[in-house]
Amino acid sequence: MTFEQLNRHIIPMTEFTLKWRFTEEEYDCLPEQHLNELKPLDKVGAEFLADFLNDCKVHSELPFKNGMFRNLDKAKILENNDKEITKWLYQRAIPFDKEVFLSWDGNNGMITKWKFVVKYWNSIFYGGADDLTVFDQSLEWTLFFFHEDEIHFGTNKNYEPIAEFDKEWFVI
């Protein structure tokens, strides 16, 4: 399989194991327009993403294989610092319309745009329960949500966080 073929493995949100994170009031109920931008994958698609990360040895050491990225950054998720984490993710300087892949494990994967990771990170990731890798197929950068409430970012780009935070961006 290739990344281009993953679109054939998109399933309806109603069939996604983790759908409750996005569709149930007690967790988060995303607007239909945004829900349609989250493209869950079937088991074959999720396995492809997990195998890709494994074959590239992305997490052979935690958070990333030694020497994989020239630039590393991390953030700690604390009680009541959701806005700071959103800002930190926003500042990673990834284009907001960039297609990204989310891999929780060999059973759960998703395709979406970076802006939805930034906007809904606390629905996508549940500390204590998840290890989640967000990446693009080039692996020029990777974001790793670690189950101990840490987020690790690695990139090979000459990386400067976006200094300004545009609150208007969140009106999408």
- Whole-angstrom Cα distance, residue 114 to residue 106? 21
- Domain ranges (residues) in the chain: 3-170
77 Cβ contact partners less than 8 Å away, ≥ 6 residues apart: 85, 127, 149, 150, 151
Give percent of the chain above pLDDT 70.
Answer: 92
Mean pLDDT per block of 10 residues along the chain (172 residues) reads 96 97 93 96 98 96 94 93 93 94 97 97 89 96 95 85 56 50
How much is the pLDDT for 152?
A: 97
Print the SS3 string covering the chain: CCHHHHHHHECCHHHCCCCHHHHECCCEECCHHHHCCCEEECHHHHHHHHHHHHHCCCCCCCCCCCCCCCEEEEEECCCCCHHHHHHHHHCCCCCCCCEEEEECCCCCEEEEEHHHHHHHHHHHCCCCCCCEEEECCCCCEEEEEECCCEEEEEECCCCCCCCCCCHHHHCC
- Whole-angstrom Cα distance, residue 172 to residue 164? 18
How much is the pLDDT for 161?
A: 63
Q: What is the value of pTM for the model shown?
A: 0.90
